[in-house]
């Protein structure tokens, strides 16, 4: 079981996960994010920053926050190497697979998406299954739906799935409903929509999965759930 985990939506694909011991950020794109509920400087203590890929709307303020707070940036090996060489941040480069980092269970899973930085391809895109306090959170990153989601959820049962629904660059609501069928999470939180017109979506349509007993929490930036 374990103690409570708090998940706060920061806008776009950015989330903060707080456990008793750790403050974790995922894809902290805050400056320049029209839907951000916080500024990078609001984060004074951060332990780990997960980055799903190098696109600016995900890497975001990871470097600035990591430099200021000494947080470790967890990401694809190639991106990690680049960030530590270019910016001097502490990184933990990994690849698709399982590891443990400072007592946190980390499973890097594929995401069907590109990854580039300053106009050059950099690493591959991923999603993360993060386990702490006996709860597992799956942040899908930017991806379409894919059948292996079922495989990972069988190996590492998911409590909360954070799924993009904006379409165009990622899955849309229809694909996210299928992803829920594959993942069987207890709760799903939509992300990566309504930041810009091109990814406009109607999150209420995701409530279709409530028929399967999956709780749908549509969070405004700044809102959080405790699980």
172 binds, among Mn ion, Ni ion, none (CB under 5 to 8 A by kind): none
Q: What does residue 54 show for φ and ψ, rounded to 5 degrees?
A: -85, 0
Q: Is 31 helix (H, G, I), strand (E, B) or coil?
A: coil
Nearer Cβ to Ni ion, position 47 or 142? 142
**Does 55 participate in binding Ni ion (rule CB under 5 A)?**
yes
Q: Which does 12 bind (CB under 5 to 8 A by kind): Mn ion, Ni ion, none?
A: none
Q: Which is nearer to Ni ion, 19 or 170 (CB)?
A: 170
Query: Does the protein bind Mn ion through residue 142 (CB under 5 A)?
Result: yes
CB 30, min distance to Ni ion, A: 16
Q: Which of residues 70-129 bind Ni ion (CB under 5 A)?
A: none
* Minimum CB distance to Mn ion smaller for 57 or for 61: 57
Instruction: For residues 210 and 215, give the distance between their C-alpha atoms in angstroms, rounded to a whole number.
Output: 6
Site for Mn ion in 52-81 (CB under 5 A): 57
Query: Distance of alpha carbon 175 from its chain centroid, rounded?
Result: 17
Tokens describing residue 187: 């709760």
Using DSSP's 3-state secondary structure scheme, residue 137 falls into strand
Residue whose structure tokens are 């920061």: 10
> Which residues does residue 225 pair with via DSSP β-bridges, in sequence order?
7
Structure tokens at 103: 């007592």
b/e map of 40-60 (b: 16 or more CB within 10 Å)?
A: beebeebbbbbbbbbbebbbb
Question: And the tokens for 127?
Answer: 């999603």
Q: How far is the CB of 168 from Mn ion (least distance, A)?
A: 10
- Contact predicate 205/176, CB 8 Å: no
CB of 210 to Mn ion, least distance (A): 26
Q: Which of 142, 158, 176, 214 binds Ni ion (CB under 5 A)?
A: 142
Q: Is 27 in the site for Mn ion (CB under 5 A)?
A: no
Question: By CB under 5 A, which span of 7-15, 49-57, 148-156, 184-192 interacts with Ni ion?
Answer: 49-57
Residues 182 and 132: their CA atoms lie apart, in Å, by: 22
CB of 142 to Mn ion, least distance (A): 4
The least distance separating Mn ion from the CB of residue 37, rounded to whole angstroms, comes to: 18
Interface with Ni ion includes 12 (CB under 5 A)? no
Residues that bind Mn ion (CB under 5 A): 57, 142
Residues that bind Ni ion (CB under 5 A): 55, 142
């Amino acid at each position: 079981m374990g103690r409570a985990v708090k998940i706060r939506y920061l806008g776009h694909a950015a989330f903060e996960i707080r456990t008793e011991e750790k403050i974790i950020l995922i894809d902290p794109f805050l400056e320049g994010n029209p839907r951000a509920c916080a500024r990078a400087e609001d984060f004074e203590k951060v332990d780990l920053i997960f980055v799903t890929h190098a696109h600016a709307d995900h890497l975001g303020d990871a470097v600035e926050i990591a430099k200021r707070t000494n947080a470790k940036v967890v990401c694809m090996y190639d991106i990690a190497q680049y960030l530590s060489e270019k910016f001097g941040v502490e990184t933990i480069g990994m690849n698709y697979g399982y590891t443990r980092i400072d007592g946190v269970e980390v499973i890097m899973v594929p995401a069907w998406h590109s990854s580039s930085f300053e106009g050059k391809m950099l690493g591959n895109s991923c999603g993360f299954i993060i386990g702490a306090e006996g709860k597992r959170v799956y942040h899908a990153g930017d991806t379409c739906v894919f059948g292996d989601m079922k495989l990972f959820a069988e190996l590492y049962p998911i409590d909360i799935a954070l799924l993009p629904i904006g379409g165009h660059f990622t899955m849309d609501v229809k694909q996210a409903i299928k992803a829920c069928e594959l993942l069987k999470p207890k709760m799903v939180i939509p992300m990566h929509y309504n930041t810009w017109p091109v990814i406009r979506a109607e999150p209420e349509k995701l409530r279709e999965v409530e028929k399967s007993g999956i709780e749908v929490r549509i969070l405004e930036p700044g809102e959080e759930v405790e699980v």
